[in-house]
Structure 1
């Protein structure tokens, strides 16, 4: 591939790469694209290298990352290349801590209409995962700092990395974040799920407290996290919350979370609502049970519950 190729030509060439038909030629093209000054081309090539599990391109990816860190806003607007390269190195199990440490601390302010914006929070989150995967000795310190990052995307990345680490030291960090709160409900959601993964029994009551918060979105996030946990002990918590909740949207979220548990007791509760509950409750339960559409056995039971009710107003 000639060095004089323009960006459009480089991207077109990457689109035509077939590692099965001409592996050596394809790798040569990827190597040159990774070394290109064009951030978009380098990002595309990094993604292909990761997908094909090309460990031989790790040195080229690491070199490109450091190159795009220089005069970063000009050479790599929106952190496109650095983010994709860091993700590729993470997936390829790169084990040099300095690169990920540089990335987790990188802030890239770029001009936008009305001011400046940091375009690197996603990069910081990916580098957090990289440090966890390589078992970096001080990773929990880095994750604690990232959990207090000004950008919600970075805080979400930290919460995910803490859960990924499967380290008991992460539990106090997530509990503190939940107790202190966050302006972004999605951050709390990631903390809820992390706690239910790392310390399910001791976290149930804490997360249950958020079901009755004034902010409806926070209540919903707590409910869905409990549902996703599939913990049997979450069922009575969600059932009782549904019974005392008057907000129609939250009641639907409660039933969906109960369905997500995929527990026999929870399923029996929803089927009973369909067969014997008030019409509005039966309709809401049927909507939640749509989650089981691909499960032939459960779907048959749902259809039987509707037939038992004998009401054509309940339909899927």
Structure 2
């Protein structure tokens, strides 16, 4: 059978066993596929194993990962099969320490137009979660290294894994990464992790980033504070809105305040609708759109708009 025919047969078989992946026939086909050299077929098989929670196939997953670590650029371009395997092992709560350690340290440079690129950043992030979930004793050392990774997605994954660990030992790592500076998305992820691990201790530090020189970081900090729903976040966000002149940042501030879903925040936004110039009132209504699916709250927005009687504002309720 030609290579394309063998691959097609494996993929067709995976489609057929999706309806009942627990059958003996399905297990046999999944095992055969995981032993194959076709990365795309192994990827799909690993995804099915993960969704069906087929722990019986853990040995085949581990063996497949090891196989694709040999000449990885040729056997598994873009790390897609290894990513799917690592994700399946993570979701199955497998104690595959060796796989996760190899994965979190793996760098796969592949040729692209004008140079080479590392395609293993996502794999390193998945393996970080795997090490956290299995309570690997040296996980914080691995996450510290990942937080200094050359690739932005890997550093973001490191911050998320530290938050997932619920380990206070990660707090200094996150603060250091944020303090020395990084891509705004990385710093914001560190702040989000700090809000989960040590919200009270870290609160003043996080609020300070509302005054960061980078507008994107200001926005991401505001949204992180809003998503936290911490009562203490309202006043800093209100002050930030008051002294910010950039229209986009002011709108982000109003959205962050709305995200708090607190009585004081709602009263503030309703007061803007009732008393501020139309452009400000429109911003408040836009921010409060997140309440549309919460009738008791949205009814208060509607009442404030109707009481003001401005036709343009009323149109925003439609």
CA–CA distance in structure 2, aligned partners of residues 189 and 244 of structure 1: 21
Task: Provide, for residues 278-300 of structure 1, a one-character-per-residue CA deviation record: whole Å limited to 9, x for no partner.
Answer: 21111001111011111111111
SS at structure 2 position matched to 1:169? helix
Note if 1:156 corresponds to 2:156.
yes
- Unaligned residue ranges in structure 1 (runs of 5+): none
More displaced 10-residue stretch of structure 1: 241-250 or 202-211: 202-211
CA–CA distance in structure 2, aligned partners of residues 6 and 189 of structure 1: 46
CA–CA distance in structure 1, aligned partners of residues 216 and 21 of structure 2: 50
CA–CA distance in structure 1, aligned partners of residues 154 and 285 of structure 2: 37
Name the residue aligned to 2:180. 180
Task: Provide, for residues 9-29 of structure 1, a one-character-per-residue CA deviation record: whole Å limited to 9, x for no partner.
Answer: 322332232343872212222
CA–CA distance in structure 2, aligned partners of residues 242 and 190 of structure 1: 22
- Residue 5 of structure 1 deviates from its aligned partner by 4.5
- 1:111-130 aligned within 5 A: 111-130=111-130
Note if 1:201 corresponds to 2:191.
no
Contact 2:89 2:96 in 1 (8 A): no
SS at structure 2 position matched to 1:110? strand
SS at structure 2 position matched to 1:111? strand
Task: Provide, for residues 56-107 of structure 1, a one-character-per-residue CA deviation record: whole Å limited to 9, x for no partner.
Answer: 1111101100110111111000000001100010000010211100000000
Name the residue aligned to 1:13. 13
Contact 1:258 1:266 in 2 (8 A): yes
In structure 2, relative to structure 1, the CA distance for the partners of 1:211 and 1:162 (3 Å cut) is: same
CA–CA distance in structure 2, aligned partners of residues 138 and 66 of structure 1: 22
SS at structure 1 position matched to 2:312? coil
- Residue 40 of structure 1 deviates from its aligned partner by 0.9
Note if 1:267 corresponds to 2:251.
no
- 1:94-243 aligned within 5 A: 94-182=94-182, 184-243=183-242
Q: What TM-score comes out, normalization by structure 1 length?
A: 0.96
CA–CA distance in structure 1, aligned partners of residues 71 and 60 of structure 2: 19
Name the residue aligned to 1:50. 50
Note if 1:277 corresponds to 2:296.
no
Task: Provide, for residues 206-248 of structure 1, a one-character-per-residue CA deviation record: whole Å limited to 9, x for no partner.
Answer: 1211112221111111101111111000000100000000000
CA–CA distance in structure 2, aligned partners of residues 170 and 45 of structure 1: 35
Name the residue aligned to 1:297. 296
Q: What TM-score comes out, normalization by structure 2 length?
A: 0.96
Contact 2:132 2:165 in 1 (8 A): yes
- Work out the number of aligned pairs and report it: 315
Name the residue aligned to 2:27. 27
Name the residue aligned to 2:254. 255
RMSD: 1.7
More displaced 10-residue stretch of structure 1: 264-273 or 189-198: 264-273
CA–CA distance in structure 1, aligned partners of residues 289 and 32 of structure 2: 49
- Unaligned residue ranges in structure 2 (runs of 5+): none
Contact 1:143 1:162 in 2 (8 A): yes
In structure 2, relative to structure 1, the CA distance for the partners of 1:132 and 1:22 (3 Å cut) is: closer
Contact 1:19 1:27 in 2 (8 A): no
Contact 2:14 2:45 in 1 (8 A): yes
In structure 2, relative to structure 1, the CA distance for the partners of 1:200 and 1:20 (3 Å cut) is: same
CA–CA distance in structure 2, aligned partners of residues 21 and 35 of structure 1: 17
